[in-house]
Each structure stands twice: as structure tokens, then as C-alpha cells.
Amino acid sequence: MDKTRLFPSSRLHQRISTPLSILDATVARFSDTGAIWLFEHVPEDINETEFRDRLRSSLVDALNDFPHWSGQLQWAPVRAGGSHTERFNRPIIIYGDEKDPGVEWSVVRHPSISVQALTLSASERASGKGVWIGDEFPQSLFLSDTSLPLHDLREFEGLPAMQLQLNLFNDRGYGIGVKIAHMLADAQSLMVFVHHWAAKSRKSFSSTDTSSLMDAPIFNPILLDACATGDIDGPAADPMLVSAARQLPLHRFDWWHTNDPGYSHYLIPATENSKPSPEILSQVELSPSTSGPWTSWDFSRPVRYTQLHYPGTELDRLKEQARADGRPDISRLDALLAHIWAMVSRARGHGDSTEDVFLNFTLGARVRVSPPLSESFIGSPLFITHIKASGASACTSSVGQTASQIRDTMLQFTPDAMGAMLHDAAHEVSPQRLWQA
């Protein structure tokens, strides 16, 4: 394995400290943002060494538009009476410093693995084989094993916030595994980067198409925070805005309730790192919360991974079926989520249950705030909402009824509601105390 640290080709020589956004702070306990891309073969007219060099060179060029990703992600210094970015466990990225950890680049050879054996080929997928059981896919082999900064909500020094691994297989196939701290990038931000890197790569490999499908990236977290209503830097939250925010369908599960039945000891170390000092806690009143559904989280059970492919014609049929007995603006995704939720609920035996079950789903904030943010806004401007129903209802409601419930929930997050939600989150004692799913 060959590991090194890379920096933008136009490296900054000026230290810049940028506080991340209100919502970035809330996703610190999320899993890493990441993906693995598999390619059938290295270009035929180029040897492997040159291929590696060109790919690495194009990556360095792409990082010019994302210079902060080579910097140091850490907690901002806490200052009593400071702004909302100077409260406990608020993230900051520092870059342009000689101590920047850089972006990790590693090359790993897999002499006993062929890319063809890892997944269905493009032709097999196109032929209509809609189910792939991915339990045997060795994901961990294709991603760096280096820890990300603040992975435990404490350790950060010298850890690279973005890590890329080039995987070379025995049939000239290759794969690119990427992971990045969720506070710096959600999936959409990662895709903005990948499109820009792809454009740089096409140029490096002498393609005539060197354009990117994405607009230039915008890294300016204060644009999101400016959409919060009221005074987010003041000593106390506005009760009216807090009340409006807490009418929204947002779980407020409390990580700090470590004595709840079913709470795993595995979760406790990071939880302790999400707490301010006893002196600070003794002076504040924690916001309302509920106990998490820990007893339903069985760590001893294996996680299955199955990828389902729904052709566009099937999704269109499902959408029209849902619209026939639901809202006229139901989308294909609304209908698909409703359909899958019903199947999962039946499989779990909820058909006769009067207890509530939940469908949690992620929404992006970019288009929901005012003014809206660009699709190429870089960060993690997202949150998790939900619908709920009795187990029996989740199993028996029509796709249209459930899809309408999903659409109604989404429409609650107006710019005014988002402003109140951001205000409430900005005043939380610790953004990592509450869990929305």
C-alpha cells in the first residue's frame, strides 16, 4: 500500500479559519460520506504507472476548487458570550497552514480480486436483473482505514478529512473509494467534487469533453446560517421560534440517556465526548428530548445489503397508481418510498400492531431556505424528518395514501419553518445530543 498526502496545486499560504454551518454541526455523529466507483479497465493505450500519475495529477488540480478539504477539521474554540459558532462542539476548518494534514491518497493492489467478480456487469444490469445481493462485497478493502478527524467527537490532530483510495485489480479493472467527514460534505457535495475531478481527468487524458456538469463549488457556510430567523448569536433562543421549530416532524432522541434500556456500551465513549463540562451543564437548561428506540437496535444481528433496480417504466406506473388515490404532485421517489416502507413493515410482522412505526428520510436544505442555496453549495445542509403510522396502517395503506403523507411532510419545511429550525439548532447546548432518526 502506498499512502501520501496531497494538496491543491495552487496551495494557499495564508491561514484561513472558517466556522462550519449550524447544520454541519448536527451531523458530526453521522457515518462518513463516501462511495466506491468501479471501472472495467484502465485505458488500453496507457500503462498503469502513467495512468496512476495522471489520475493523481488531475485530483490535485481538482482540489484547487476545494482547498479547505486539505485543511484541519476540529472544534472551534469556545468563547463565553461569543457568536453561535463559538459555542460548545461547533466545527471549524483551518486551512492554508503549513500544518494542514492534506488529503490522503493511497494506492492498493488486489492481486486476487477481479472487478468483474465484484458486481453485476453493465450488460447484466441492463438486461433487467433487478436484484443484487451485495452481502459479500468487501467494502472495507476499497476504502482507507485511516480515521477521519472527530470520528469519536474528540481526536482530530493531523487526521485528513478527505481520503481517496485507488484500487487496482488483477484484470486491469480499477476502483476509486472516497470517504470524507460528513460535516464537510453530504452526498451532493461529494458529487459536485467528483464531477469536477472527472472533468479534470478527461482533460488529463486528452478528451475533447472537459466540461463539468456541476456549477463551480461554493464554500461559504455563513450563507446557510444567514437563513436562520431571529438572533442566533444572542444569549437565549426566541421562545416563539423555538415553538415553531418543535412543531415540525423531527425526532429528538437523546444520545445522553445512556441508562435507557438497550443503550449499547459501544456508543458511550463518543456520547461522553459530546458533553460540555459539568460546570457549563449546571448553568443551562437542556431542551426537551425523548429516549431513543434502543431496544429495537440489535447489534448482534447481521446487516444485509441488497440493491434493487426499478426500471423507469415501473416507477412511472407506480407514480401514476399513487396519484390516482393521492396527491397530484406525488413524485416517483415518494411512491417508491411508500411502496418499500409497506413491504418492510409487512416483512417485520407489523400487520396487527397498534404501535407507531416510522419512515425516516433525509431532506436537503439548499432549496428550502430563503434565499435558496446553489446546488453546488458545499457542506452538509441536510436534516432528517419522518412520517409515522400504526404498524397495521403502514402495512395496509395504499401507496397513494402513504406517498401523500410523505409529500405533505416535505411541504411543511417552508423557508419560515427552516428559519425557525435553524434558530433552534443554533442555540442547542450540544448539537450532537439530539438524534433525528
Residue type at 7 in one-letter notation:
F
Question: Quick one: pLDDT at residue 125?
Answer: 66
* Alpha-helix residue ranges (DSSP H) falling in 325-382: 332-347
Q: Predicted confidence band at 45 (pLDDT cuts at 50, 70, 90)?
A: confident
Mean pLDDT along residues 96-120? 94
Sequence spans of domains, the chain: 2-217, 224-435
pLDDT surpassing 90 at residue 320: yes
Q: Which of 289, 51, 79, 73 is nearest to 184 (CA)?
A: 73
Question: Quick one: pLDDT at residue 52?
Answer: 95
Instruction: Take residue 338 and report the three cell numbers written for it.
Output: 411508500
Residues in a beta bridge with 4: 105
pLDDT surpassing 80 at residue 78: yes
Whether the link from the prior residue into 371 is cis, omega within 30° of 0, is yes
pTM (predicted TM-score): 0.94
| Greater pLDDT, 423 or 301 | 423
Question: Quick one: pLDDT at residue 121?
Answer: 73
Question: What class is the 224-435 domain?
Answer: alpha beta
Question: Quick one: pLDDT at residue 134?
Answer: 86
Question: Quick one: pLDDT at residue 324?
Answer: 97
Mean pLDDT along residues 38-62? 93
Q: Give the CATH number of domain 2-217.
A: 3.30.559.10
Q: Give the rounded distance of the alpha carbon of 305 from its chain centre.
A: 18
Instruction: Kindly calculate the radius of gyration of the chain based on its CA atoms and give it in whole angstroms.
Output: 23
Residues in a beta bridge with 120: none
Mean pLDDT along residues 269-292? 95
Output the average pLDDT for the chain: 94
Q: Predicted confidence band at 222 (pLDDT cuts at 50, 70, 90)?
A: very high
363-385: pLDDT as tens digits: 999 999 999 999 999 999 999 99
Question: Quick one: pLDDT at residue 165?
Answer: 98
Mean pLDDT along residues 150-177? 97
Q: Is residue 232 within 8 Å of 419, Cβ to Cβ?
A: no
Question: Quick one: pLDDT at residue 345?
Answer: 97
| Greater pLDDT, 289 or 117 | 289
Mean pLDDT along residues 116-125? 78
